[in-house]
Structure 1
Amino acid sequence: MLFAVICAVAVATIYVAQPVLARIGDELGLPEARLGWIVTTGQLGYLMGLALLVPLGDMFDRRRLIAGHLLLAAAGTALAAMATELWLLLVGLGLAGLFAVVVQTTVAFAADLSAPAERGRTLGVVTSGVIIGILGARVLAGSLAALWGWRSIYVTLAVLLIALTCFVLKLLPPDPRDVRTTYGAVLISLGHLFRERLFVSRGLIAFFLFASFGVLWSGLALPLAAAPWHLSTAQIGLFGIAGLAGALGASRAGRGADAGRAGLITGGALVLLAASWLATGQAYWSLWLVVIGVIVLDFAVQAVHVSNQHLLTAAYTAHTSTVIGGYMLFYSLGSAVGATGTTVAYSVAGWAGSSTLGASFALCALIVWAVTRRAGAEARRNALVPLPCPGA
């Protein structure tokens, strides 16, 4: 549970700005065209951290690494809370985003501390914290901003990050590393992963999975704020609760992965992901169908995400931090593509266009799963065919 809370608070530092962009812009006197940098800066820092910081978990004591990254993320959020100029705000958010990758170090540490038979269950609980942070950040930000202004959001996060640092040092076991390698060698090993079929296939599934996720959560506010609903920002934020219900329900998918059913869970969940857009696409006609679609989509995303990480951490036990960091690069790029694509699709064809895009991403993930599963089955059959004797 401590790992899950670390993930929730750390990932929230990247997403809390989204619902309060207008408030930040009004106070700092920023034009709308420059508001996008407030979100983008944190995400760029996160991408850099995935490639440059997460692999450090395969070299150093992860208890100390997690504590250090939490403190530095707290420094970034504190700087953002005090910022009176855009450049200072961006420095703080970039710093917070860079060290928010403590999430992936935490996931890798949790996987290594688990018994092999319970790794999926552990990952299900820990990664549920990530979804709680992503979706709950919107509810937290809206409530705090309404009470005490947008700066209170970052003050609260800084306090929570510092408190978690103390808990990490007190409660987590030491993690001595006797690895005779260099930082350069670790980064090279990350590059080598892109030659591995399992890593690339699961990474591509994650890319399309979170592109579909990004289409929904970056675009859903557009039809809900328009006719006939005209919902307020606070009302739209409540749809995040439905997403939380779905994601938390899928945390048990880890038990199925422990039983050797990760592949089947992935395929079934991707079918649900594609089907969820049939309900979510009715946003102009029924809010209840949207709620059902949101629950199903977030259930499917969490189930696939847990299964992916279970397979990867089980296959690369000596480099769990590096493989999780590399895998999450696909996640981040997919989220960015989905967030950008949904605004373009909506401007061209309304919510029907966004829904078609989200369903297309889901189907692409399903195709990758089906092709790699078939290729794996053929490889296993070929391995069982006896080689001909010389001269036969």
Structure 2
Amino acid sequence: MSNNNVLTARVPASEAQTAPVTPMSNSLVWLMAISCGLVVANIYYNQPLLAEIGRTFGLSDSHVSLVATATQIGYTLGLLFVVPLGDKLERKRLILLELVLAAVVMGVAAWAPSFTILLVASVWIGIFSAVPQLLIPMAANLASSAERGKIVGKVMSGLLVGILLSRTISGYVGAHFGWRTVFGAGGLAMLLLVAVLALKLPKDQPVFEGTYGSLMKSLVTLTRKFVPLRRAALVGGFLFACFSVFWTTLVFFLEGSPYFYKSDVVGFFGLIGACGALAAPIAGKMADKRGADYAIGLGILASLAAFIILGVSGQYLVGLVLGIILLDVGVQGAHISNQSRIFALLPEARSRLNTVYMTAYFIGGSVGSVVGGAAWTAYRWHGVCAVGLFFVLMAFLANRFYGRSAEPGPVA
């Protein structure tokens, strides 16, 4: 089978995905945005709770940080093995099944009598919380080509708010009611979301009719074919690594000198980072009008400035707040622009394109969590900032030089 056949696998020409005749309603866009936020929160609830979880099981900071790493590894596995099915199976049905299973494993995490069970549950929480990466390509399919970047940005803004507010909510609830309550409430939220989406989410039937094996094989083919996809994967992975370095270790930094904050206060720093959500629609519009490269370059520059400020003046509240804002705006703005770029490459393969990109993205996040925890243990705050700065510089080099001399595939 040729590469092109692997990519499309018996897609009739009459069924090729095209831009919709009528625009998406605002209510549907915001429903998808809110859904993304609620589901992705499952992955980040644990970050402000790491110190409390460590005290429950008698673990060191570096050991308990494995909970965050396990969840991100699970999310990466979900991206790699589940999200591609969005190009083969009816997306609404797949999304509802994922949400039900997510509710089950969130309940297991709330009950977990040992750290080992919590780690295993964390992996499965990550796997079944890949729903946003099914909803975002779905939004791209339903949007017109002229508004695709803007609509993807709006849906992503919900995801970003979920990432950041999850820390605020879990920090507060964990401090007052215990970390187990956070996981239990998250599971109930998934069941509520199942009921709403079953009524309101439209069906979205993909056109790929090949086997699961050919679907997975096409991931390799897509990666080889499109230079912009490989570049986006590298840039996104490095930037999310720096993001994870910071947010995985922030709770340890804030609970010690000079701040001595508890988890409820630590969680409220997610509100500061919510500025990144404001950058999402702006970055989407910028990618529509000025091209993805321009927006990605600005995002990298903002992230670079963030770690310089955090390293120099993170011990002061003003410096810490400014660094958080710049980091979240930079990373999330570049992320939206990367997705706008890859979704334009091959419309009928958007779930698989997103799989390649987001798998690299969360591999970077998992590496960042591990390296960040080790940097904190060995060198404390300045080690964390140095590692974060290194990952940003790698993103700059990848974006500036990778594949620029000759691109065999189409350029987004």
Query: Structure 2-normalised TM-score?
Result: 0.85
Residue-by-residue CA offset, 1:128-152 (whole Å, 9 max, x unaligned) = 2222222222211122223332222
Q: Does 1:214 align with 2:257?
A: no
Other-structure match for 2:33: 4
Which whole-Å CA distance do the structure 2 matches of 1:34 and 1:131 have between them? 27
Question: Residue type matched to 2:296 in 1?
Answer: T
Which whole-Å CA distance do the structure 2 matches of 1:133 and 1:15 have between them? 9
Greater mean alpha carbon deviation, residues 356-365 or residues 96-105: 356-365
Other-structure match for 1:240: 270
Q: CA deviation at 1:222?
A: 3.8
Which of 235, 248, 259 aligns to 2:289? It is 259
Question: Residue type matched to 1:70 in 2?
Answer: L
Other-structure match for 2:356: 326
Which whole-Å CA distance do the structure 1 matches of 2:372 and 2:66 have between them? 18
Other-structure match for 1:388: none
Q: CA deviation at 1:68?
A: 1.1
Other-structure match for 1:390: none
Other-structure match for 1:356: 386
Which whole-Å CA distance do the structure 2 matches of 1:379 and 1:156 have between them? 46
SS in 2 for 1:126: helix
Q: CA deviation at 1:59?
A: 0.4
Which residues of structure 2 form unaligned runs of 5+? 1-29
Which of 208, 215, 237 aligns to 1:179? It is 208
Greater mean alpha carbon deviation, residues 66-75 or residues 169-178: 169-178
Preserved CA contact (<8 Å) 2:78 2:128: yes
Which whole-Å CA distance do the structure 1 matches of 2:126 and 2:155 have between them? 19
Which whole-Å CA distance do the structure 2 matches of 1:235 and 1:271 have between them? 29
Q: CA deviation at 1:122?
A: 1.2
Query: Structure 1-normalised TM-score?
Result: 0.89
Other-structure match for 2:367: 337
Greater mean alpha carbon deviation, residues 154-163 or residues 343-352: 343-352
Q: Does 1:166 align with 2:157?
A: no
Which residues of structure 1 form unaligned runs of 5+? 381-392
Which whole-Å CA distance do the structure 2 matches of 1:108 and 1:199 have between them? 15
Q: Does 1:53 align with 2:82?
A: yes
Which of 316, 321, 328 aligns to 1:291? It is 321
Which of the pair has more CA radius of gyration? Answer: 1
Structure 1's 183 and 118: CA in aligned 2 closer, same or farther, altered over 3 A?
same
Structure 1's 353 and 86: CA in aligned 2 closer, same or farther, altered over 3 A?
closer
Preserved CA contact (<8 Å) 1:253 1:306: yes
Greater mean alpha carbon deviation, residues 94-103 or residues 223-232: 223-232
SS in 1 for 2:188: helix
Q: Aligned ranges for residues 258-277 of structure 1 at < 5 Å?
A: 258-277=288-307
Which whole-Å CA distance do the structure 1 matches of 2:67 and 2:134 have between them? 25
SS in 2 for 1:108: helix
Q: Does 1:366 align with 2:382?
A: no
Structure 1's 3 and 90: CA in aligned 2 closer, same or farther, altered over 3 A?
same
Which whole-Å CA distance do the structure 2 matches of 1:26 and 1:220 have between them? 17
Larger RCO (CA within 8 A; separation ≥ 6): 2
Residue-by-residue CA offset, 1:201-253 (whole Å, 9 max, x unaligned) = 11000111111111221223344333333333332322221111233234311
Q: CA deviation at 1:305?
A: 0.4
Q: CA deviation at 1:26?
A: 4.9
Which whole-Å CA distance do the structure 1 matches of 2:220 and 2:127 have between them? 20
Structure 1's 186 and 142: CA in aligned 2 closer, same or farther, altered over 3 A?
same
Which whole-Å CA distance do the structure 2 matches of 1:174 and 1:377 have between them? 36
Which whole-Å CA distance do the structure 2 matches of 1:214 and 1:87 have between them? 22
Which of 160, 163, 167 aligns to 1:131? It is 160
Question: Residue type matched to 1:152 in 2?
Answer: T
Structure 1's 83 and 236: CA in aligned 2 closer, same or farther, altered over 3 A?
closer
Q: Does 1:375 align with 2:409?
A: no
Structure 1's 287 and 168: CA in aligned 2 closer, same or farther, altered over 3 A?
same
Which whole-Å CA distance do the structure 2 matches of 1:378 and 1:198 have between them? 10
Greater mean alpha carbon deviation, residues 159-168 or residues 202-211: 159-168
The size of the alignment, in residue pairs, is 379
Preserved CA contact (<8 Å) 1:71 1:161: yes
Which whole-Å CA distance do the structure 2 matches of 1:129 and 1:84 have between them? 33
Preserved CA contact (<8 Å) 1:128 1:302: no
Preserved CA contact (<8 Å) 1:61 1:174: yes
Structure 1's 90 and 215: CA in aligned 2 closer, same or farther, altered over 3 A?
closer
Residue-by-residue CA offset, 1:246-303 (whole Å, 9 max, x unaligned) = 3323431101112242111111221121112221113454210111111011111111
Give RMSD over aligned pairs: 2.4
Which whole-Å CA distance do the structure 1 matches of 2:179 and 2:318 have between them? 31
Other-structure match for 2:24: none
Seq. identity, %: 34
Greater mean alpha carbon deviation, residues 16-25 or residues 155-164: 16-25
Preserved CA contact (<8 Å) 1:208 1:364: yes
